[in-house]
């Protein structure tokens, strides 16, 4: 069955429109509560990022959950991976995160984790959708849920993150710039890194509800790159609004994305003899990553875009690491979802173990120029079936041959068409190919 409300990463949109309203959040909380309570475990953890609309949605969700007889455990601002981890450790039946991740403040969303800390299955999402379309009927007053807050959630998660860093290493003598995107890691990531011994220079740690991801964090790396150079720091690490993405900057200001982070972690695991099989990327992962891993003898497989798909392929292959180029990096030895802090710590561990700086560690991968054009298109016309698009696609693929790739895909959350071209050619030529193909999409 096709899902009506859930997208590729929960439910997301502009606040006050469509599904991101207090009315819908109330109904969603009730519907989810009815489905989740069937297990007999009625405890559901609720976390959020600091965007201003989180207060509204948290209150509405709480009302819906309690009306279904569920007990909401409120944690306040917490990174998405922290909610996944704590859902499992608190033995809750599910976790809910109110966040639009890397989106601007005027968007928000709601996503769910299972009791194992995994994204909810599509089967459970469809069950929730079926309940949403029913009339809301409260349980008997004596059976209603009673919400409460936990105050030590951040401390528990900080200790978990630190436990993933080898005890024989410490960060004494390192100067590290940490950019929290004015998001959910603002009160956690700097403490994790400073408690491991580093001198920490913070950015994006003053959330006011509307500055999340604003010219900062993993989706806007120019500021941290400049700060690393100006401060003469050893490197920088940046997270997105909900903390499930990580990007890094070496001492020269070069930005490392999810492909390069995956390469460093995979190579370090190979060095230590702890690599379990191979590594998973996505159809968007750069050919340079695939070739660099092949040189090391590390198997590589591609999933569809989305950390859910990355994790599914990792499980299918029996592998423990995977990533998206955007910085979703999954280290399943520790957590079954993308965790920016934990993944960043694995890179730092590789630096400590190899006695190499970040600049030198990335030298084994040569990335091809890759250009992505995003085009809003007419919903009445499917670009994947359009004659002009297909003819131009065929022409460009013929010119590239085995020296590059072209990928066309529709966004799962909005009427946007992605045109990706990468090739062993000049960046100017790759840009020309991408723009030519994007121009054929009917807007």
User: Which domains, and CATH codes, for the chain?
Assistant: 11-152 (3.40.120.10), 159-364 (3.40.120.10), 370-438 (3.30.310.50)
% of the chain with per-residue pLDDT over 90: 88
- Rounded mean pLDDT, 406-433: 88
Q: What pLDDT, on a 0 to 100 scale, did the predictor assign at position 69?
A: 96
Structure tokens at 40: 């007999």
Long-range residue pairs from 129-138, CB within 8 A, at least 24 positions apart, any chain:
129/3, 129/4, 129/5, 129/6, 129/31, 131/30, 131/31, 131/32, 131/34, 131/35, 132/5, 132/27, 132/28, 132/31, 134/31, 136/26, 136/27, 136/30, 136/64, 136/67, 138/67, 138/68
Q: Which residue matches tokens 């009917």?
A: 442
Q: What pLDDT, on a 0 to 100 scale, did the predictor assign at position 330?
A: 97
Cβ atoms of 83 and 113 within 8 Å: the answer is: yes
CA–CA separation, 8 and 23 (whole Å): 22
Q: What pLDDT, on a 0 to 100 scale, did the predictor assign at position 377?
A: 82
- Reduced to 3 states, what is the DSSP secondary structure of residue 160? helix
- Rounded mean pLDDT, 21-43: 95
Cβ atoms of 192 and 200 within 8 Å: the answer is: no
Cβ atoms of 236 and 225 within 8 Å: the answer is: yes
- Rounded mean pLDDT, 105-110: 97
Which residues carry out catalysis?
Answer: 101
pTM across the whole model: 0.93
What's the whole-number average pLDDT of the chain? 95
- Rounded mean pLDDT, 399-415: 84
Task: Please report the DSSP string for 173-216 in residue order.
Answer: T-EEEEE-TTSTTTTTHHHHHHHTT-EEEEES----SS-TTSS-
Helix pair angle (153-163, 340-354), 10° resolution: 30
- Rounded mean pLDDT, 133-147: 96
- Reduced to 3 states, what is the DSSP secondary structure of residue 235? strand
Reported confidence tier of residue 239, pLDDT bands at 50, 70, 90 = very high
Q: Which residue has the higher pLDDT, 195 or 382?
A: 195
CA–CA separation, 200 and 378 (whole Å): 47
Q: Which helix (H) or strand (E) holds 395?
A: helix 387-400
Output the CA–CA distances (angstroms, integers) from residue 357 to 233, 258, 389, in the order listed.
Answer: 12, 18, 44
Q: What pLDDT, on a 0 to 100 scale, did the predictor assign at position 99?
A: 97
Structure tokens at 60: 């509405």
CA-nearest of 390, 402, 404 to 432 is 404
Q: What pLDDT, on a 0 to 100 scale, did the predictor assign at position 443?
A: 67
Reported confidence tier of residue 412, pLDDT bands at 50, 70, 90 = low
Q: What pLDDT, on a 0 to 100 scale, did the predictor assign at position 1?
A: 72
Output the CA–CA distances (angstroms, integers) from residue 326 to 279, 330, 356, in the order listed.
Answer: 16, 12, 24
The torsion angle over the Cα atoms of residues 269, 272, 278 and 279, rounded to 10 degrees, is 10
- Rounded mean pLDDT, 59-78: 97
Structure tokens at 294: 């092949």
Question: 371 pairs with which residues across the strands?
Answer: 421
Counting every residue, how long is the chain? 443
- Rounded mean pLDDT, 285-299: 96
Q: What pLDDT, on a 0 to 100 scale, did the predictor assign at position 413?
A: 60
Q: What pLDDT, on a 0 to 100 scale, did the predictor assign at position 378?
A: 74
Each residue of 377-406: pLDDT tens digit?
876 778 888 899 999 999 999 999 988 999
Q: What pLDDT, on a 0 to 100 scale, did the predictor assign at position 405?
A: 93
Reported confidence tier of residue 352, pLDDT bands at 50, 70, 90 = very high
């Amino acid at each position: 069955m096709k899902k009506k409300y859930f997208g590729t990463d929960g439910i997301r949109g502009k606040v006050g429109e469509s599904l991101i309203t207090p009315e819908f959040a109330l109904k969603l909380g009730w519907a989810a509560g009815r489905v989740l309570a069937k297990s007999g475990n009625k405890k559901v953890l609720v976390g959020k990022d600091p965007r201003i609309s989180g207060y509204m949605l948290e209150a509405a969700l709480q009302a819906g959950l309690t009306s279904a007889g569920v007990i909401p455990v409120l944690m306040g601002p917490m990174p998405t991976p922290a909610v996944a981890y704590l859902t499992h450790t608190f033995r809750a039946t599910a976790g809910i995160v109110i966040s639009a991740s890397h989106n601007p403040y005027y968007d928000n969303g709601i996503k769910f984790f299972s009791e194992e800390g995994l994204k909810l299955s599509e089967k459970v999402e469809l069950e929730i959708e079926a309940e949403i379309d029913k009339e809301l009927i409260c349980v008997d007053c004596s059976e209603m849920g009673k919400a409460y807050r936990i105050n030590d959630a951040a401390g528990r998660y900080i200790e978990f993150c630190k436990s993933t860093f080898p005890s024989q290493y410490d960060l004494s003598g390192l100067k590290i710039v940490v950019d929290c995107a004015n998001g959910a890691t603002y009160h956690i990531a700097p403490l994790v890194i400073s408690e491991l011994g580093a001198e920490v220079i913070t950015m994006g740690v003053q959330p006011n509800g509307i500055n999340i991801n604003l010219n900062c964090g993993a989706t806007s790396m120019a500021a941290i790159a400049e700060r690393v150079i100006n401060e003469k720091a050893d490197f920088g690490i940046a997270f997105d609004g909900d903390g499930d993405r990580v990007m890094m900057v070496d001492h020269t200001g070069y930005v490392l994305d999810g492909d390069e982070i995956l390469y460093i972690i995979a190579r370090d695991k190979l060095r230590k003899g702890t690599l379990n099989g191979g590594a998973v990327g996505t159809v968007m992962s750069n050919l340079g990553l695939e070739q660099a891993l092949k040189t090391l003898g590390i198997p590589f497989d591609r999933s569809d875009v989305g950390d859910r798909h990355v994790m599914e392929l990792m499980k299918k292959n029996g592998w423990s690491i995977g990533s998206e180029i955007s910085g979703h990096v999954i280290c399943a030895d520790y957590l079954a979802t993308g965790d920016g802090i934990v993944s960043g710590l694995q890179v730092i561990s590789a630096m400590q173990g190899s006695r190499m700086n970040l600049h030198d560690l990335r030298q084994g991968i040569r990335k091809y120029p890759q250009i992505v054009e995003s085009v809003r298109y007419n919903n009445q016309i499917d670009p994947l079936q359009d004659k002009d698009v297909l003819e131009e696609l065929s022409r460009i693929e013929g010119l590239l041959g085995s020296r590059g790739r072209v990928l066309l895909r529709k966004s799962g959350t909005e009427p946007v068409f992605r045109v990706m071209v990468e090739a062993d050619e000049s960046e100017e030529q790759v840009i020309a190919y991408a723009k030519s193909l994007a121009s054929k999409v009917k807007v």
